[in-house]
Structures are given as C-alpha cells and as structure tokens.
Structure 1
Amino acid sequence: MPEMLDIVDENGLPTGRAVPRTQAHAEGLRHRTSHVWILRKKQGRLQVLLQMRCAAKDSYPGCYDISSAGHIPADAEFVESALRELKEELGVDATSADLQECGLRRFHFEAEFHGKPFKDNQVSKVFCLWLDREAEDFTVQKSEIDYVRWFDLDEALRDVAQGAIPNCIFMEELEMVKKAAERAKLSGGK
C-alpha cells in the first residue's frame, strides 16, 4: 500500500483528495509536512541538531537536514505527525506540550534525484523542541539517517548560507527557528 498524502490548500487544509506520495512529487501537488528542530544550550551556546540524510533518500541524499521531518499521511495532523517522526527517526518520546510552534512555511521547488524529476510543493508547520542529549544517544533510523550532529546555531546559519556543508536547509526556516529560540529566551524559557 503506497503512502497516501492529503492534497491541501495554501493554508495546509485538506481539499478532500489524497494521492500516493510518489504522485504528489511527480506532479508537484501541494501536501503537508512537519518539521522539528531540536535545540539545546551547551556551554552558553545555542545549538541545533542536524541529521545527515542517507544515500538512499529520494531527495537530497547525503545532505544535512532538519533534526526531524516527515510527510503527513492522509487524515493525520501536523503535531501528531511531528511526534511520530521524532520517535521513528530519532527514538525521541515527546508530547505536544514539548513542541514550540515557530510558524507555517510554504515552498515549491523542482530538482532531479537519482535520474528522476522531483517536484516538491509543501505547506510545512515548523516546531522547536528543547532537548539536551548527546548526538550518540539518539537512536537514528538507519533507513533514513546516517547520523546526527550538533552545530552551534550561528555556525549552522553561516555554513548553510555559504554552502560550506552539503545541505537541503532553507535559510528562511533556520532563521525562523533562531527567532523562536530568541523569543523563548526573552520570555524566560530555555
């Protein structure tokens, strides 16, 4: 049975039509994803956990990416999917109360991977999760991720902007995460 995705409007609301994931990417049909950026404070520095996508991924193999992200299956919701992906990809048990919502992002791009066209048209809900755990203590899903690594957030912003590391990270989203972390700090949070 193929993974089915809801086709959604520009606000991420399902239209009542669902298609297989492969069709959504072949035709560039708008669908939803959840993105979770894991943050921590270490020795006075704000850090972000990035995953290295495995070579078999259908898009951006061998690139650094969001801590945890995934497509939202048909009839599922953003938070539910974010929590499921955290557990599957990184072995992290979290609750909805642990997630800090950063905002909604819409984007569309086209590329070619493994010799095939790939059209991505997403509405993504972006979250932060504060979790102080060493990289080797995450249980990574080897079919998706080679490893995870902590970066100082400012270092990650610089490296992504300069293309110093192979990545599929959108600067707009990483900056959104930094602003959310700064708001949390100002409000007495992490």
Structure 2
Amino acid sequence: MTEEQIDVLNADGSPAGFSCGRTRVHSEGLWHRTVHIWAFDGKGRILFQLRSRVKENNPGLFDTSCAGHISAGDSSVNAAVRELREELGVQKSSRDLEYVFEAKHESVLNGGSYLDNEYYDVYKITLSDVEVESLVPQPGEVDGFVWMTREEFFAKHKLHPEKFVEHPKDFLWLMENA
C-alpha cells in the first residue's frame, strides 16, 4: 500500500508547491493541513473518540470525534466527509458539515521523533438518533466512543487532562459556542 501523500505548506499556511508522504511530513515537521470534526447528538452531547491503543501518537486518549490529514489535491470538506465515513462509519455529504474555524497548531510528540505542524479546519456536525446508535469505530484507529455534555467534558478534563489529546483552540470553542 502506498503511503498517503500530503500537500506541504509554508509556515504562513501558503502552499509550498509540493507533496510528500506522511512519514516525511512528520519526521521533518513540515507544515500541512488536517481536519477536526466535532459531532453532536440531538441533545447537544459531544462525541469523543477513544484513540486506539495501537496508535503511534496519543494512544488510548480521548480525542475529537474524528480527524485526519487532507490528502494531496483534496479539499478540507471532502477530507472531513471521508474521515466521518472511515472513523465513525457515518455517511454524510459536505452540505451536512458546518465550517467553524481554522487554527494553527505545533506539537512535538514521541520524544521528538514526530513533529506535528498543522493548519486545521474545524467542522461541526449533528448526528441523527439512528447514526448515534450505529457508530462503527475504525479498527486500529478508534477503540470506542464516549458521549459527554459540555459540563461533563470540562469537569473530566479539569480532573484528568492527561486523558485527553489537547486541542486548546477547539476546547475554547466548545466552552464558548458549542
């Protein structure tokens, strides 16, 4: 299987004019684009995925409902639709997604061997009751799902921040607007 190719960016977010494999992107800390999708149910609860314990980064931690890299030549919204299908087993169209904001994030993981420099687009989606009942975690990516109200999330995060992948800009949005 060929490694996913990702468009590389300059530090200011503009296209660098070339693509390369995901391994190189993260070993060299090249800037790139990703998506975060926050799913809600009809009661306003937030879906958190439990990252697979076999993931290279942040194994076994609570994370965004789903997220992923934007493949070379693809659009942000198409990547979001693909990630919803792959990680949650949910079939949606681009019209179902609400664009929320773009953020810039830098992190050093795994003792410095994984450099994650990204611009990411955040989307919000509401799942139907049928979709909520039929979520399918992607093997090797997601071990399960947990629904939390905003209050439950902030209380758990305050007591045990080490159990969550940190997304400060997303969390601020969840606190103020979700």
Pick closer, same or farther for the CA change 1:126–1:179 going to 2, 3 Å. Answer: same
> 2:119 aligned with 1:118, yes or no?
no
Pick closer, same or farther for the CA change 1:106–1:29 going to 2, 3 Å. Answer: same
Equivalent in the alignment of 2:26 = 25
The one-letter amino acid of 2:4's match is: E
**What's the CA shift string for 1:35-73, capped at 9, x where partnerless?**
10001243xxx3100000111111101101000100011
Return the alpha-carbon distance in structure 2 between the equivalents of residues 156 and 20 of structure 1.
Answer: 35
Q: How big is the shift at 1:140? A: 1.3
Return the alpha-carbon distance in structure 2 between the equivalents of residues 13 and 158 of structure 1.
Answer: 38
Q: Which moved more, 1:77-86 or 1:5-14?
A: 5-14
Equivalent in the alignment of 2:6 = 5
> 2:123 aligned with 1:127, yes or no?
yes
The one-letter amino acid of 1:118's match is: Y
**What's the CA shift string for 1:69-97, capped at 9, x where partnerless?**
00011111100000001001111111111
Q: How big is the shift at 1:11? A: 6.0
The one-letter amino acid of 2:135's match is: F
Return the alpha-carbon distance in structure 2 between the equivalents of residues 171 and 159 of structure 1.
Answer: 15
Pick closer, same or farther for the CA change 1:149–1:169 going to 2, 3 Å. Answer: same
TM-score normalized with structure 2 length = 0.89
Equivalent in the alignment of 1:153 = 150
Q: How big is the shift at 1:157? A: 2.4
Question: Is this contact kept in 1: 2:150–2:174, CA < 8 A?
Answer: no
Q: How big is the shift at 1:136? A: 5.0
> 2:14 aligned with 1:16, yes or no?
no
Please list every run of 5 or more consecutive structure 1 residues that lacks an aligned counterpart in the other structure: 182-190
Q: Secondary structure at the match of 1:159?
A: helix
**What's the CA shift string for 1:101-135, capped at 9, x where partnerless?**
1100101010217xx71110010000000114475
Question: Is this contact kept in 2: 1:64–1:165, CA < 8 A?
Answer: no
User: What is the Cα-based RMSD across aligned positions, in Å?
Assistant: 2.0
Return the alpha-carbon distance in structure 1 between the equivalents of residues 13 and 123 of structure 2.
Answer: 15
> 2:174 aligned with 1:173, yes or no?
no
Q: How big is the shift at 1:25? A: 0.8
Question: Is this contact kept in 1: 2:41–2:132, CA < 8 A?
Answer: no
Equivalent in the alignment of 2:56 = 58
Q: Which runs of 4+ in 1 moved over 3 A?
A: 9-13, 132-136, 177-180
Q: How big is the shift at 1:164? A: 5.0
Return the alpha-carbon distance in structure 1 between the equivalents of residues 162 and 145 of structure 2.
Answer: 14
Pick closer, same or farther for the CA change 1:10–1:99 going to 2, 3 Å. Answer: farther
Question: Is this contact kept in 2: 1:102–1:176, CA < 8 A?
Answer: no
The one-letter amino acid of 1:139's match is: V
Q: How big is the shift at 1:160? A: 2.2
Question: Is this contact kept in 2: 1:160–1:169, CA < 8 A?
Answer: no
